[in-house]
Amino acid sequence: MSFDAAYEALTDHDDDARWAYGTGFTDPLAGVDTAVPSGVEPAELAAYCLMLGDDALIMSHRLQQWVTRAPELEDELAIANIALDLLGQARLLLSRAGEVEGAGRDEDALAYLRGESEFRNVRLAEHADADFAHLVARLLAFSAWRLALLDRLTASADPVLAAVAAKGVKEVTYHRDYAAQWVVRLGDGTPLSHERMQAAVDAVLPLTGELYATHEVERRLAEAGVAVDPADLRGEADAVWEQVLRAATLRAAPVPGDVPARAGHTRALGEILAELQVVARSTPGGVW
């Protein structure tokens, strides 16, 4: 066998059975029309992709910070898997934002070279977790909301957003399930775990008001059938919380209304970006 042919066997898909690892991976965007839908302002579509992409990117980074700190090895891997799912969603959405924007910025430029004020994520994504109970409460809030959002986004007039959402629905369904199981276990566990889970719910639920506030970009794109109006998601997310809290023997905490949509950040974002961007900024264009 010549050297040139050495790698051919690795891509021989007629013989999957030999491989211990799975094969047949699929590209979620294969065959999807990438033109901007008519009547849609490219700058607005790019901004919307950044919102959903930044939510996933920043939430993913917070989850990655649990790696080596999770209470059990098995849960550490579960959290890392969830972080990777969200990172994958972020990559597709940031790539789409860069492509639609047409200013030559790719996913890396958008993730690594934007300043704090240019990030459009919700503040819930950047919130630091005081303990594991806070993490699962925040993950439940984030994924109950995002699943309701992605579920509706599968019908988006933008075929790329619809395809990204279709892939994300399956992933986030699992994230929500994972978080809900832990909230129930800890809430309906020992007196100590119940007390700490209740404290986490009391801390996290009041942060969720912003998730259901509609940004003007979201409102205009929702009217065009491209985006989802987050105000429509409240009922579904509330029903999830009600069901989980009842099973967990926990009580709800008030969710403030009237919170401005995606307005500014907490100081935590600066810390996250310092860690996320340090390598890319210290070695611009570095490849290895």
Partner 1 sequence: MTRHEWPLFEVFVRAKRGLNHVHVGSLRAADHQMALHHARDLYTRRNEGVSIWVVRSDDVAASSPGEKEAFFAPSGDKVYRHPTYYSIPDSVPHI
Binding residues for partner 1, per CB under 8 A? Answer: 16-17, 20-25, 72-75, 77-78, 81, 178, 181, 185
Closest distance between partner 1 and the C-beta of residue 241, in Å? 21
Max CA separation in the chain (angstroms): 69
81 vs 214, which CB is nearer to partner 1? 81
Q: How many Å apart are CA 280 and CA 65, to the nearest integer?
A: 18
Closest distance between partner 1 and the C-beta of residue 249, in Å? 17
181 vs 266, which CB is nearer to partner 1? 181
Closest distance between partner 1 and the C-beta of residue 81, in Å? 5
Q: How many Å apart are CA 186 and CA 150, to the nearest integer?
A: 28
119 vs 178, which CB is nearer to partner 1? 178
16 vs 242, which CB is nearer to partner 1? 16
Decide if 106 contacts 53 (C-beta within 8 A).
no
179 vs 200, which CB is nearer to partner 1? 179
Closest distance between partner 1 and the C-beta of residue 170, in Å? 13
Closest distance between partner 1 and the C-beta of residue 78, in Å? 4
Q: How many Å apart are CA 269 and CA 57, to the nearest integer?
A: 12
